[in-house]
């Protein structure tokens, strides 16, 4: 870890991800999108987000390429857009499951979690595990070594 302190953090992937995702309404919109909710009114009802906040979050998620707009029209109504996850958005699924599992462990009601995600094929609960590229399970932060990657930049001495 000492070696990593020699490197700049201004291109940190965590910081850049939080710049896109880092607030409650964004995660609640994504939660609903993963649950198949696509229309503005339904998203507003399910998240409880104020109209302007939801509109801004949806615009940002579309601009960032996490959601895409798909037009639809009910008979006798004007055309509207629904919001669907893109591949970039779908790639956030492990993050959403990790957040849910952490919440289930530390902040759920005494009765247990409100939702259990199961594998469609066999019905077993889904578990999230870290593994290295050689297939070894990684139990936590004490079992990894941060090393400079190809985008690492050395800090300049003050």
Instruction: Identify the helix (H) or strand (E) that includes residue 158.
Output: none
Q: What is the pTM of this model?
A: 0.86
Are 81 and 61 within 8 A, CB to CB?
no
Q: Report the percent of the chain where pLDDT is more than 90.
A: 80
Q: CA–CA separation, 125 vs 68, rounded Å?
A: 30
Could you read off the pLDDT of 25-81 as tens digits, one per residue? 999 999 999 999 999 999 999 999 999 999 999 999 999 999 999 999 999 999 999
* Domain architecture of the chain: domains with CATH: 1-91 (1.10.10.10)
Per DSSP, 108 falls in state: S
């Amino acid at each position: 870890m000492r070696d990593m302190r020699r490197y700049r953090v201004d291109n940190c992937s965590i910081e850049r991800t939080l710049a896109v995702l880092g607030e409650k309404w964004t995660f609640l919109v994504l939660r609903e999108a993963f649950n198949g909710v696509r229309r503005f009114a339904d998203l507003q009802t399910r998240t409880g987000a104020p109209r302007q906040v939801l509109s801004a979050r949806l615009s940002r998620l579309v601009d960032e390429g996490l959601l895409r707009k798909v037009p639809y029209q009910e008979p006798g109504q004007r055309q509207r857009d629904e919001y669907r996850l893109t591949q970039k958005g779908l790639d956030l699924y492990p993050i959403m499951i990790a957040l849910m599992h952490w919440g289930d462990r530390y902040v759920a009601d005494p009765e247990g979690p409100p939702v259990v995600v199961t594998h469609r094929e066999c019905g077993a609960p889904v578990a999230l595990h870290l593994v290295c590229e050689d297939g070894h399970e990684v139990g936590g932060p004490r079992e990894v070594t941060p090393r400079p990657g190809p985008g690492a930049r050395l800090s300049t001495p003050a």
